[in-house]
Amino acid sequence: MKRNPPLRRLRTEQPNDAALDLDQKSSLEIAALINSEDLTVALAVTRVLPQIARAIDLVAAALRRGGRLIYVGAGTSGRIAALDAVECPPTFNTDPRSVQFILAGGNKALASESETSEDDAPAGRKEMSARKPNKNDVVLGIASSGRTPFTVSAIAEARRRGARTIALTCNPNSPLERAAHLAIVTQVGPEVLAGSSRMKAGTAHKMVLNMISTGAMTRLGYVYGNLMVNVAPKNEKLKQRAVAILERATGADHASATEALKASGNRTPVALVMLAANVTRGDAVSALNRADGNVRQAITLAK
């Protein structure tokens, strides 16, 4: 078995030479230094775009066949994953079961310290086993170090059960990378605050998860142009947004867009197909069903 290097030898744990006198800097100097380091994060993500694209394809394929995207992580990594998961239903009107998260320590760890849970490998296996992952699912484990026992064991269990697995880390050649089918390694280097992976590492991983979920939903046709046409108008702000989307997407005036949204039963994609194809609500619903929710394809079918 390959032996893991000591934690202190990981790049994300090293001191950042540019920040060795951090505690002696002014507030403006601290902000400027952190900002300067943050500018390097997007470059680190750029280097792994092919792997991110592969992850988008895997997730889109899984969701298309009725499978799930299941995030798993501990601490900062798990909280970032949870944020991305819970934002999918309001953004894309997806079933909450289609994008899920597993957080070491449970949901209570979202609001309170629970870092000791990340060392519990048996709990990782148990939590993953409870979700019953299978060949239709994609399971994505996030750990900046790439060696968090809870996350590594959860990914290994998911892979054993036939799910496609993805590792998202900041350090190469890690146990998490070896446990997964696909690795995305954002090498952001040492943090301004040594070892504080909520900073550059966390920013990189939020960027990557945003790309994967948004990319997959776009590939599924839940986006029209660059408009989130699946948005569910559940409050006044979202109703106004939905009307604006209909106006931009179809060229309809405000009154027509408002009426179409009302006639659709406050279902933005239905209203869009009605306006774009000049069909009834029933025809629009039928077209969307035949197109598996792909709005652009539904418009073509309705016409």
Residue positions annotated with a catalytic role? 87, 118
Confirm if 208 and 45 have CB atoms less than 8 A apart: yes
Q: How far apart are CA 1 and CA 119, in angstroms?
A: 19
CB-hemisphere CA count at 13 Å for 40? 14
Residue 276, CA atoms < 13 Å, CB-side half-sphere: 26
CA-based nearest residue to 90, from 234, 260, 293, 211:
234
Amino acid at 24: Q
H or E segment at 140?
strand 138-142
| Token pair for 143 | 């750990």
The closest alpha carbon to 204, from 218, 184, 221, 219, belongs to: 184
Radius of gyration of the chain (CA): 22
Sign of the four-CA dihedral 151, 156, 161, 165: positive
Q: What is the DSSP letter of 163?
A: -
Count Cα atoms within 13 angstroms, Cβ side, for 122.
Answer: 0
Strands (DSSP E) contained in 182-255 are 182-185
- CA pair distance 75, 78, nearest whole angstrom: 5
